[in-house]
Amino acid sequence: MLDNKTILITGGTGSFGKAFTSYLLEHYHPQKIIIYSRDEYKQFLMANQYKGQKEKLRFFIGDVRDKDRLYRAFDGVDYVVHAAALKQVPACEYNPIEAIRTNINGAMNIIDAALDCGVKKVVALSTDKAVNPINLYGGTKLVSDKLFVSANAYAGKKEISFSVVRYGNVAGSRGSVIPFFRNIVANGGTELPITDYRMTRFWISLKQGVELVIKALKESKGGETFISKIPSFKITDLAQAILPGCKMPEVGIREGEKLHEIMVTQEDSLSTYEYEKHFIIYPHMEWWNPNKIQPGGKQIAQGFEYSSASNTQWLSVEDLQERLKRVDTK
């Protein structure tokens, strides 16, 4: 499906963008991969990293806030993976207008450009923070998700679909807890601060995130939200896995931080189907055709909630230690 196609990745110099690019080059034969991002230095580093594949890569300086630039970049593009976002929770809390301009206005620009430039599919990356949001980042991503789902109603007879992939913090990603803890240990620290002893999170690797996006590109009909079935862990167990026997002072929840990650709400259960390795939330809208539901799944029970606190799969300290060996935070 992705062979001989042109794929554009917004925010393509980030950890996801680089992992997705590597996956495409390893498993497919794309005609071109366009890396669309704002940071010229990161593009320079990425170009050097993929020097042997330079005929496949095109680096495009641009911002999702700039609609004209997106129209130019989307010319001849088959598939768009939208990974660009302002995603640091505290930064969004203190710079709300900037978060809205990137995460909401940027999503609108992506949709308009895709509709007008002949793009076939758009997959937008989302976050658990868009579910019952309590911070501005989550609020902007909730709106963004709604925009991408509803964009399918604007497609008319055009052969284009928009879908969403939702997951939490990728293990080891920039700004997440693993590099934070590892940095403390590297600097001789003997205590790892815990914001709340009850806190839980889902564990998803970069590879799993990439594979879920690939699945969405292959299977989406338009309007679906794809969610991986992944294990949970306690933050206190993660601290013990990184620095066994350490003290763990409880320091209080930060602004905008949640106790648990939720991927499927009880309200979503009305239109959610469970498959072997993932869930799909289907649109609950008049324009949605139920015949587009993927075979092989079953509708979940009404009132079901997919939360890191009530998950059926859990990682022990020993499990976490094994997985941490494969997490590169350098």
Catalytic residues: 129
Judged by DSSP in three states, 258 sits in coil
CA torsion 222→224→229→233, rounded to 10°?
Answer: 120
User: What phi, psi does 275 have (nearest 5°)?
Assistant: -120, 180
Q: CA end-to-end span of the chain, whole Å? A: 33
Long-range (24+ apart) CB contacts under 8 A made by 92-96 are 92/135, 92/136, 92/137, 92/140, 92/256, 93/135, 93/136, 93/137, 93/255, 93/256, 96/136
Which two structure tokens, joined as six digits, stand for 197?
Answer: 């002893």
273 pairs with which residues across the strands? 280, 299
